[in-house]
């Protein structure tokens, strides 16, 4: 996998890490960045990952053979559509958004026909934000879900898969809807539960929390601006995941209320069995 010019739109933690990983692994001849925040560009130029950067989106994408959109998920679709007319014919566009179906539906309906778009979602991240925390190994050994549709051109899909593999990731293919259904349960629902649990803690009980509460609510520290966008973009599958969760939660409540030790233990055993498989 070699790219002449790699353009990164949004040089935060993920965009900055893609630039750094591409640099270290020698994937691109030239790497350019776009960000409204001049400090982000400066940091990524300083650590050697960007050759140049600016706030001028149309100009930057015009050079890109591969353009990766790393902006908040509720901005990506409009940005891809708006900038696709400025891109080189034949260029490949992808993104790193945490939700896929709505975004890709919009893009496929409106994107310039001279470019190819293929959705991606790297299952990697950190509570840390910003290009300053960019990590060249952020994707190493992590899964990146690539989400082709019936309209995706096979060569564009292959190049997208190759790109993520070149960054050290394990690439997997799912349809946008399958992706959203799975991630609603594996990522968005945990976030929602963490925020809900943290939100019901009365201030006077803070001192009575230990590592269990802290770990279970870790995700609640995430950015509300970012996560309200993610949750909203995938609300249908999240509500379905929530209902599936709620059904089991009711089983738990009912087992407790009727003091059914066998049922309580069975529910704990089922959770442990799956948890132990994840290690």
Number of chain residues interacting with a second copy (CB under 8 A): 81
Kind of pairing between the strands at 116-122 and 92-95: parallel
User: What value, to the nearest 5°, has the Cα angle with vertex 72 and ends 13 and 196?
Assistant: 95
268 contacts a second copy (rule: CB under 8 A): yes
> Using CB under 8 A, which of the segments 36-44, 103-111, 133-141, 201-209 binds a second copy?
201-209
Q: Which of residues 113-172 bind a second copy (CB under 8 A)?
A: 123-125, 142-143, 145, 172
H-type helices in 138-234, by residue range? Answer: 154-166, 176-183, 189-199, 211-216, 224-233
Short-list 116, 113, 61, 109, CA closest to 87: 61
219 contacts a second copy (rule: CB under 8 A): yes
205 contacts a second copy (rule: CB under 8 A): yes
- Helices and strands (H and E) in the chain: how many: 12, 8
207 contacts a second copy (rule: CB under 8 A): yes
Find the binder of a second copy among 55, 62, 81, 201 (CB under 8 A).
Answer: 201
Q: Which is nearer to a second copy, 113 or 210 (CB)?
A: 210
Q: Which is nearer to a second copy, 112 or 263 (CB)?
A: 263
Tokens 């975004």 correspond to: 103
Longest dimension (CA), the chain: 67
Short-list 34, 150, 40, 155, CA closest to 86: 34
235 contacts a second copy (rule: CB under 8 A): yes
In whole angstroms, the minimum distance from the beta carbon of 144 to a second copy comes to 11
221 contacts a second copy (rule: CB under 8 A): yes
186 contacts a second copy (rule: CB under 8 A): yes
């Amino acid at each position: 996998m070699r790219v002449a010019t790699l353009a990164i739109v949004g040089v935060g933690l993920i965009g900055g890490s893609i630039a750094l990983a591409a640099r270290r692994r020698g994937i691109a001849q030239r790497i350019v960045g776009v960000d409204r925040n001049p400090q982000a560009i400066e940091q990524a130029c300083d650590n050697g990952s960007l050759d140049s950067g600016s706030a001028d989106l149309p100009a930057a994408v015009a050079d890109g053979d591969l353009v990766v959109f790393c902006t908040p998920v509720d901005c990506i679709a409009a940005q891809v559509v708006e900038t696709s007319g400025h891109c080189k014919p034949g260029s490949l566009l992808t993104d790193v958004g945490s939700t896929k179906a709505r975004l890709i539906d919009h893009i496929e309906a409106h994107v310039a026909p001279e470019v190819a778009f293929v959705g991606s979602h790297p299952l990697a991240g950190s509570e840390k934000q910003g290009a300053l925390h960019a990590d060249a190994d952020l994707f190493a050994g992590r899964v990146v879900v690539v989400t082709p549709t019936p309209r995706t051109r096979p060569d564009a899909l292959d190049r997208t898969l190759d790109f993520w593999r070149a960054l050290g990731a394990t690439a997997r293919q799912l349809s946008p809807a399958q992706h959203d259904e799975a991630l609603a349960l594996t990522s968005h629902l945990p976030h929602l539960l963490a925020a809900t649990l943290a939100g019901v803690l009365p201030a006077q009980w803070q001192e009575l929390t230990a590592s269990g509460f802290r770990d279970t609510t870790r995700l609640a520290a995430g950015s509300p601006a970012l996560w309200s966008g993610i949750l909203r973009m995938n609300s249908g599958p999240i509500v379905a995941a929530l209902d599936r969760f709620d059904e089991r939660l009711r089983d738990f409540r009912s087992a407790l209320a009727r003091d059914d030790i066998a049922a309580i233990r069975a529910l704990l055993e089922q959770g442990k069995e799956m948890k132990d498989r994840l290690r």
